[in-house]
Amino acid sequence: MILSSQPRYHSAEMTHPSPPRSRSSAPLDGVLVLSIEQAVAAPYCSSRLADAGARVIKVERAEGDFARGYDRLVHGESSYFVWVNRGKESLVADLKQADDVALLRRIVARADVFIQNLVPGAAARAGFDSAELRRQYPRLITCDISGYGEDGPYRDMKAYDLLIQCETGLAAITGVPDQPGRVGVSVVDIACGMHAHTGILQALYQRERTGLGSGIAVSLFDSVADWMTVPLLQFDYGGRAPERVGLNHPTIAPYGAFATADGKQVVISIQSEREWRDLCVRVLERSDMAEDPRFESNPKRVAHRPALDDAIGAIFSGWTQGEVTARLKAAKLAFASVNQVSDLSEHPQLRRVSVDSPSGPVELVAPPVRVLDPQTLRPVPALGAHDAAIRQEFA
């Protein structure tokens, strides 16, 4: 369900095979990006550049980016593809054909940013070695995205989101005590795309000051290894990694989910001793718990979590979710409902944006970065929709 009260933005009309490139208010207006990309990580990065006004030429093989075939749920389009490919131009090119390689080289000569996420070494073999491109075009910014990096013993291993979640230990600290779990979205690809996006913006800013481009390399593994820093430090210096605790925080208590009388769940988060006392006195109406020596500090509450959770759970189970959240809100304590995706679809805080696709308008989640000027997101391209215009322009 889509709420009519949600704020709306609208994409540019699909009246011309090439998206408009004159957006004076857009921060990256005039920036040309050539991206030989597939799947999620690189497209996520380039889609955010396109959102900011950059012209992104997406190079696809004859059968298209394989993410186009992940599903057919959005008017026959892939949910993954429409999410991370809005605002781009689609150019079909074969890196084994001399004429197509020459075309891409002409585009690179005029580009500000070159992105690729082919298997390590493939871009170089096709004539698009990043270091060599920067030598020829000193203002060019290159971004190489890979699974494990351009060197090291895992360099040539195939890498996908779930594989990296497992390889970095993320799956080992996710899930319930009985077994590890996968984070429910493509968090590895998103992390890598975000790091690549940040690196490109930094390089563009540096070029404004120095006049020179730079080379960026980002891997799926490094991106999530960085996010695993706290569990790693806890293991390296504390001798123990966080345990899997489901919908609980491993080192803060009470911070987790509790069932209510109507079969729903509420997550509470207590961050200080003042909040702990407020929870006991104002919400639970159990001032004695605030004085219990087992619960007098966060480390002790964590150590006695089963008894703590049982006491809180027994009280919450006698109230409905609405009654629990009303008490928490009155006490100004942090809480959240354990929602389903269907609840998110109707969430009053959710902002959506309407973007055109080859099969019709798609309601996407609005970009999280809000800007003062009205935001116009451009269409999702059909495969090869811009071939003729691009080939003529860069002949």
Active-site residue, from 249, 304, 347, 386 = 249
Residues 284, 275: Cα–Cα separation, whole Å: 12
Nearest CA to 335 among 263, 258, 229, 262?
A: 258
Backbone angles phi, psi at 336, to 5 degrees: -155, 155
Q: Is 2 exposed, middle or buried (0-12, 13-18, 19+ CB in 10 A)?
A: exposed
Please report the DSSP string for 184-233 in residue order: SS-HHHHHHHHHHHHHHHHHHHHHHHHS---EEEEEHHHHHHHHTHHHHH
Give the DSSP letter of residue 162.
H
Catalytic, 347? Answer: no
Task: Report the C-alpha gap between 204 and 52 in whole angstroms.
Answer: 13
CA-closest candidate to residue 29, choices 57, 51, 46, 58: 51
* CB-based contacts of 92, cutoff 8 Å, min separation 6: 59, 60, 61, 62, 64, 383, 384, 387
Assess contact for 215 and 134: CB atoms under 8 A: yes
Beta strands 55-60; 88-92: pairing state: parallel
Q: What is the dihedral of CA 134, 155, 41, 67, to 10 degrees?
A: 110
Rg of the chain over Cα atoms, rounded to whole angstroms, equals: 25
Amino acid at 198: T
Contacts of 65 (CB under 8 A, 6+ apart): 37, 38, 39, 43, 58, 81, 85
The span from the CA of 319 to the CA of 328, in Å, is: 12
Exposed, middle or buried: residue 195 (CB in 10 Å: 0-12, 13-18, 19+)?
A: buried
**Residues carrying an active site annotation:** 249
